[in-house]
Amino acid sequence: GAVVSQHPSRVICKSGTSVKIECRSLDFQATTMFWYRQFPKQSLMLMATSNEGSKATYEQGVEKDKFLINHASLTLSTLTVTSAHPEDSSFYICSGRQGSYGYTFGSGTRLTVV
């Protein structure tokens, strides 16, 4: 089946630094990837939609200058959290879309900003 590899699985960074999270579709081409954020015991909140070769579309309330998304190829999308602060600590999950109903999720990245 389709697999999305997400790295790193856990990262701890200092406040003010930037962190990059990668998502790769291993056996399919994901023209569209989605980035979600999840707080403890809560559901997934869509942050942005990235399409290969074009600018990402951000959901209302999500700072595009803080959460930089790049989807340079059909198999790789990256999310960079810039100037991270403790309130950015969360579980970030990506999802690659294949076909009309095929969504494959990465295993998530636990970001802790200290």
Partner 1 sequence: TQLLEQSPQFLSIQEGENLTVYCNSSSVFSSLQWYRQEPGEGPVLLVTVVTGGEVKKLKRLTFQFGDARKDSSLHITAAQPGDTGLYLCAGGAGSSNTGKLIFGQGTTLQVKP
Query: Contact residues for partner 1 (CB under 8 A)?
Result: 4, 6, 32, 34, 36, 41-46, 49, 57, 91, 93, 95, 97, 100-101, 103-108, 110
Asked, as a colleague might, if the bond just before 8 is cis with ω within 30 of 0, I would say yes
In the complex, the smallest distance separating the C-beta of residue 63 from partner 1, rounded to whole angstroms, is 19
Do 5 and 24 form a contact (C-beta atoms < 8 A)? yes
In the complex, the smallest distance separating the C-beta of residue 68 from partner 1, rounded to whole angstroms, is 19
In the complex, the smallest distance separating the C-beta of residue 103 from partner 1, rounded to whole angstroms, is 6
User: Residue 109, Cβ neighbours under 10 Å: how many?
Assistant: 23
Output 37 or 113, the one with its CB closest to partner 1: 37
In the complex, the smallest distance separating the C-beta of residue 27 from partner 1, rounded to whole angstroms, is 16
Do 96 and 23 form a contact (C-beta atoms < 8 A)? yes
- Please state the length of the chain: 114
Do 44 and 38 form a contact (C-beta atoms < 8 A)? yes
Output 26 or 46, the one with its CB closest to partner 1: 46
